[in-house]
Structure 1
Amino acid sequence: MTAMTTGPRRPLALAAGLLASVIFLALGGCAGSELRSAGAAAPAADRTAILAMTGDYAVTFDFRETVSFEAGYTPKEPYHSGAFEVVRVIRDEPRVIELQHILVVGADGRHLPIKHWRQKWVYEPDYVLDFIGNNRWRRRDLGPEEAAGRWAQFVYQVDDSPRYAALGDWRHDQGTAAWTSEPSLRPLPRRDATKREDYDAIRAVNRHALVPGGWVHEQDNTKLRLGEGAEGAAAPLVREVGVNRYLHSDTFAVAVAEDYWQETAAYWEAVRGLWTRLEQEQGEIGLTLAGEPEEMYAAFLGHADALASGERSLAAAVAEARQTLRRYTVDSTAIARR
């Protein structure tokens, strides 16, 4: 199911998602297995908590380095930022839920949508994707005992390429709802990737918790140097705590995000399909770019913009996306060409 749920606002057209499915199948796509075919149903309370993260938000991003592990290193100044963001359901199945984030920027009546990150929640998954450094991710299969009763959160970047994934547990205690992950490795955030070269990855524990008026994403991060890209040789540089707060807001141009998704949902569904094939069939994804892959995601976003403006047909935009994936990923030619 790929419709974007809009709640009380005007619903977005379902035709775009259905058309993308037809195109994707024509290109040889396959949904693949993300979870076990047998097993207990996902707990209703967990599903309710995940779906409760949808809405229209004023978001604040706060990060503070706390403890240095290297002689002579002084923690950096705290980072603070804010944004307006729309979060919508684009897939709702009994054991898989996907939420798409779209930023709305601008002022004085001039607003622009920016496709942001995507989170995919899978109950009792067959695998997770581990970041292994140097813009590479590797599939790690999970045994039934390890995944039993648990949810994996997969986080994808603005172009639907992988970012990180982790297995964790939802807890519902005394009226609260929170999911806490196992530690997992992930790339540098953009706020550091464009400015710093003194560390290579973050080992993070993530917590998503519902709060009055919205939800929070808490992070317990350790910034690491990765000798030869192997986590086993990682040396900690500094610890960091982060809190991203999502508070419901009706003070911004939500329709800008909804219009963008209506115009581009079919394209992004096809793009997700291409990345999913690499994730499931190839088992390892590597980029040809070092550092922040801005060149790659600018290309994917550009194809979507051309579709939204009427400069490209859907078929042409998807074809360009396939070529972009081939250009910027390692050993993906055979899969991307199907």
Structure 2
Amino acid sequence: MKKLSLFLAICAVSLGASAQSKLEQDRQAIKALAGYYKVTFNYAETFATDTAYKFYPRYSSWGNEAAIIVEDSPKKIVIQHLLQVDDTTVIKHWREDWVYEAPSLMNYDKDNAWKKVALSPAETKGRWVQTVLQVDDSPRYQSIGTWVHVDGRHQWQSEADSPLPRREYTKRKDYNVLRRGNRVILTPNGWMFEQDNKKILRTAEGDKLIAQEKGYEEFTKIDESKFAYTKTWWASQQKYWGDVRAVWDGVFAKSGNLKVLEKKDGKRLYQQLFDLGDQSVKEKWSAAKNKEEASKIINAYLAS
């Protein structure tokens, strides 16, 4: 009887350690996405149901991008991407938030509108929600998946509807939803963002598949010294953008549904917030001032 009790106690300790180890493995995999990279973008349409459909040209591009951890708590990791155009130009690029066992998802519908959906404990157990945000910190998409660590491979997989990608949203009118099949895979020199996407026309009658595409975004680590200007620029801007994130967090917390206007008075939201950031840095605004001014702008772009 004593041997059985000892065995059960060892199993209990082992299971607890294993669960904690899995969470920490997940955290380390997510944190490994941060770094200094050359990023290559390659996309090609592969299939269409309509035999008369003309496939669009393949898309290829590249850039130098810094991915910096701006928040690291036990169950939330936030990584800000910064695109270094040249030695004197930086663009605040996309952001990714990772939350462990998040209780809800913002599902993209169409026309820049999202609907909040509650998740059950069974749906979220052991899983991470990745939120991908625009350059102005407005939403792009959220999806949920499980990090898998096996045979030396570390990867995460999900599916989510999203707006059109930046490479096509000013060029295409034949579809209005991109259903993303996402795989994040760590590699010896960085990581790969592999995608199997469906381009969908969503109307009141339902969804119509226009085309499928394959995508590879490869993040390959390069010399950190190439990003000296990026580091200097971000050091001056990070306080302001932290305050903008706080404003958006408040919006997401209280919104069941969310719709963001593409333009207001002829300007896009990112233009307004970028200009505000430069003004904040120049005039050395306080956090309260940043939040007050950013809130005015953001709320003006939220459809009632």
TM-score (norm 2): 0.88
Matched, 1:167 2:144: yes
Aligned counterparts of 2:225 and 2:115: Cα–Cα separation in 1: 39
Aligned counterparts of 2:295 and 2:224: Cα–Cα separation in 1: 38
1:319 maps to: 292
**Contact 2:99-2:128 at 8 Å conserved across structures:** yes
Query: What 5-or-longer segments of structure 1 have no aligned partner?
Result: 1-39, 332-338
The partner residue of 1:137 within 96, 114, 133 is 114
The one-letter code of the counterpart of 2:48 is: S
2:164 is paired with a residue of what secondary structure? Answer: coil
1:43 is paired with a residue of what secondary structure? Answer: helix
2:160 maps to: 184
Matched, 1:124 2:101: yes
**Contact 1:124-1:148 at 8 Å conserved across structures:** yes
Matched, 1:275 2:248: yes
Aligned counterparts of 1:323 and 1:57: Cα–Cα separation in 2: 35
1:241 maps to: 214
Aligned counterparts of 1:80 and 1:312: Cα–Cα separation in 2: 40
1:102 is paired with a residue of what secondary structure? Answer: strand
2:92 maps to: 115
1:198 maps to: 174
Render the CA deviation track for 1:192-245: whole Å, top value 9, x for unaligned: 0011111101111101110011101011100000113xxx81100000110000
Alignment of 1:258-337 (within 5 A): 258-289=231-262, 295-308=268-281, 310-311=282-283, 313-314=285-286, 316-331=289-304
2:26 maps to: 46
1:191 is paired with a residue of what secondary structure? Answer: coil
Aligned counterparts of 1:122 and 1:251: Cα–Cα separation in 2: 27
The partner residue of 1:147 within 121, 124, 133 is 124
The CA deviation at 1:317 is: 4.2
Structure 1 residues 294 and 133, CA, compared in 2 at 3 Å: closer, same or farther?
Answer: farther
Render the CA deviation track for 1:70-118: whole Å, top value 9, x for unaligned: 2421111110000000001111111111111001012xxx421110111
Higher strand share: 2
The CA deviation at 1:251 is: 6.9
Identity of aligned residues (%): 34
Aligned counterparts of 1:270 and 1:278: Cα–Cα separation in 2: 13
1:158 maps to: 135
Render the CA deviation track for 1:127-184: whole Å, top value 9, x for unaligned: 1111111101111110000111111111111011011010111111111100011x21
Structure 1 residues 294 and 97, CA, compared in 2 at 3 Å: closer, same or farther?
Answer: farther
Structure 1 residues 172 and 92, CA, compared in 2 at 3 Å: closer, same or farther?
Answer: same
The one-letter code of the counterpart of 2:58 is: P
Q: Relative contact order: is structure 1 or structure 2 higher (C-alpha 8 Å, sep ≥ 6)?
A: 1
The one-letter code of the counterpart of 2:82 is: I
Aligned counterparts of 1:318 and 1:112: Cα–Cα separation in 2: 25
Structure 1 residues 214 and 223, CA, compared in 2 at 3 Å: closer, same or farther?
Answer: same
Aligned counterparts of 1:91 and 1:265: Cα–Cα separation in 2: 12
**Contact 2:156-2:185 at 8 Å conserved across structures:** yes
**Contact 1:65-1:241 at 8 Å conserved across structures:** yes
Render the CA deviation track for 1:274-296: whole Å, top value 9, x for unaligned: 11112111221111337xx9711
The one-letter code of the counterpart of 2:36 is: D
1:215 maps to: 191
The one-letter code of the counterpart of 2:231 is: E
The partner residue of 1:95 within 71, 75, 78 is 75
The one-letter code of the counterpart of 1:117 is: W
2:152 is paired with a residue of what secondary structure? Answer: coil
1:172 is paired with a residue of what secondary structure? Answer: strand
Query: What 5-or-longer segments of structure 2 have no aligned partner?
Result: 1-18
Render the CA deviation track for 1:10-43: whole Å, top value 9, x for unaligned: xxxxxxxxxxxxxxxxxxxxxxxxxxxxxx7561
TM-score (norm 1): 0.79
Aligned-CA RMSD value: 1.8
The one-letter code of the counterpart of 1:238 is: A
Aligned counterparts of 1:120 and 1:240: Cα–Cα separation in 2: 25
1:82 maps to: 62
Render the CA deviation track for 1:232-284: whole Å, top value 9, x for unaligned: 81100000110000000117631222222211212111111111112111221
The CA deviation at 1:312 is: 5.9
